[in-house]
Amino acid sequence: MARAPNTIVDPALDAAALLRRMGFFGLFVALPVAAQVSRRATVVLAPIAVVLLITASAIDRRQRAVQPSVRRLLTAPSFLAGLLVVFWCGLSLVWTPFPGPASERFGNLIATVAMTLLAYLALPDRMRSANLYLLPLGVGAAAIVAILIGLVGDAMLRGNPDGDSALERGGVLLALLVWPAVAWLRSRRRDTESLVVAVLVAGALLTAPASTPLFALAIGALAFALTNWRLSLGVKVTALAAAGLLAVAPLLPFLARPIGAALFGPVSPGVLALKAWQKLVTLEPVRLITGHGLETALRGRIYGIVPANAPTTMLFEFWYELGIVGAFAAAFALHGGIRRAGRDATALVPCAMAAFAAAFAVGCLGVGLTLVWWLTTLALTILTFVAVERGQFRHSRPKVGLIPRLPVRS
């Protein structure tokens, strides 16, 4: 009698696979859906999912080797520039007028960076397709939930004072996560499914009360179209536009205010905000070097240090709080990160440029510099793209001939 094949079942590996599946389900499905109805969903669910991924990797050891990965990060110029930004944020606690709230913000920044690095090191070296297909399913489900809320929002959000804030944050998350979802489907030649996901997200943002996510999606679509048309041109334009705007931000009010006054009138809110920014630049030009310290752009409005109508954009806050050192380091890190992403798998580059452009547009439209939910959203987008990139190891199947070729004798 023939013996049955001897199969060894390892419960530890099965437990690790289950934990990893639960972690990706939390990141790709539960978090986007919950973010449409709860403004704290991103901050609460992301660390839980990351802990599950770290635990799974600690059990089965299927992540990349830690030491080479850390060495590769520490030798990357853009990563070192990002560390300089974090260091300068911590050093600015010395001269900020609000050391207590600034220390809390800096602690949140350090925690988010540490969570992102640990999750990056815990991601498997080769991602399973079954885990990555959760991403478009989660983004599509979240878009459907957002559409339903947009259609019957008064009934669903009645009695919830944070409803509009949750919808805006959920819309921002959709505007960013749609691009890695589309990238994964396009890399698997599922163009129809990727179009369906993109249309669902666009419909969700059209019905949302806030316009920021829709504008960010439109900017991302432009970057995607340009990069898909000419890859190198799209990467260069995205990198130069983002880094250049951040580097020359103090000049923007001097250039944009006359144009805005001619188009919208000298007393329009946007023109007055540019006037307040211009006044801050001319009154304290020396503080452009060091900045005023972390948390001053937000708290300064409450205590009269900063005009109430000053801009709330990332461009203003970077320069006002961190000065030329922080702004230039962030611009260098942003430029290097975008150019590095442009050297990844060709199928992912257009969507990566779209995500960079969309995130930068959200920052320019009024998201605070160190808000926890915004930092967590950026970290989630980065981790998602890394996971999609590690799922590209299987490019083509080898062709097997049915009839073997015989050697030709001469």
376 Cβ neighbours under 8 A, 6+ residues apart: 42, 43, 46, 112
Residue range 388-409: mean pLDDT, rounded: 58
Tell me the pLDDT tens digit for each residue of 56-109. Answer: 998 888 888 888 888 998 889 999 999 999 999 999 999 999 998 899 999 999
Q: What is the pTM of this model?
A: 0.89
CB-CB contact of 46 with 376 (8 Å): yes
pLDDT of residue 22: 93
Give the angle subtended at the CA of 126 by the CAs of 228 and 43, to the nearest 5°.
Answer: 80
Q: Does residue 157 or residue 285 have the better pLDDT? A: 285
In one-letter notation, the amino acid at residue 157 is L
pLDDT band at 8 (very low <50, low <70, confident <90, very high): low
Phi, psi of 124 (to 5 degrees): -60, 150
Q: Say whether pLDDT at 187 is over 70.
A: yes
Q: Does residue 409 or residue 22 have the better pLDDT? A: 22
* Domain range summary for the chain, segments of one domain joined by +: 13-250+312-389
Neighbouring C-alpha atoms within 13 Å toward the C-beta of 243:
20
pLDDT of residue 160: 55
pLDDT above 70 as % of the chain: 90
pLDDT of residue 262: 85
Residue range 371-392: mean pLDDT, rounded: 90
pLDDT band at 398 (very low <50, low <70, confident <90, very high): very low
pLDDT of residue 399: 47
Phi, psi of 157 (to 5 degrees): -100, 5
pLDDT of residue 408: 47
Instruction: Quote the mean pLDDT of the chain.
Output: 86
pLDDT band at 274 (very low <50, low <70, confident <90, very high): confident
pLDDT of residue 163: 52
pLDDT of residue 368: 67
pLDDT of residue 261: 87
Q: Does residue 397 or residue 319 have the better pLDDT? A: 319
pLDDT band at 393 (very low <50, low <70, confident <90, very high): low
Tell me the pLDDT tens digit for each residue of 10-52. Answer: 777 888 889 999 999 999 999 999 998 888 888 899 999 999 9
User: What is the spatial distance between Cα 224 and Cα 230, in angstroms, rounded to a whole number?
Assistant: 10
pLDDT of residue 88: 94
pLDDT of residue 353: 95
pLDDT of residue 331: 94
User: What is the spatial distance between Cα 95 and Cα 195, in angstroms, rounded to a whole number?
Assistant: 50
CB-CB contact of 373 with 165 (8 Å): no
* Exposure b/e, 187-219, CB count within 10 A at least 16 = b: bbebeebbeebbebbbebbebbebebbbbbbeb
**Could you tell me the sign of the dihedral formed by the alpha carbons of 164, 166, 172, 175, in that order?**
negative
Residue range 288-296: mean pLDDT, rounded: 88
Q: Say whether pLDDT at 382 is over 70.
A: yes
Q: Say whether pLDDT at 211 is over 90.
A: no
Best CA proximity match to 59, nearest among 11, 128, 110, 116: 11
pLDDT band at 400 (very low <50, low <70, confident <90, very high): very low
pLDDT band at 157 (very low <50, low <70, confident <90, very high): low
pLDDT of residue 256: 87
The strand pairing partners of 102, in sequence order, are none
Asked which of 182-191, 216-225, 339-348 is least confident by mean pLDDT, the reply is 339-348
150 Cβ neighbours under 8 A, 6+ residues apart: 167, 204, 206, 207, 208, 209
pLDDT of residue 281: 86
Tell me the pLDDT tens digit for each residue of 294-316. Answer: 989 888 888 888 888 888 888 99
pLDDT of residue 401: 44
Tell me the pLDDT tens digit for each residue of 111-152. Answer: 999 999 999 999 988 888 899 999 999 999 999 999 998 887
pLDDT of residue 153: 65
**Cα 239 off chain centre by:** 15
Q: Say whether pLDDT at 394 is over 80.
A: no
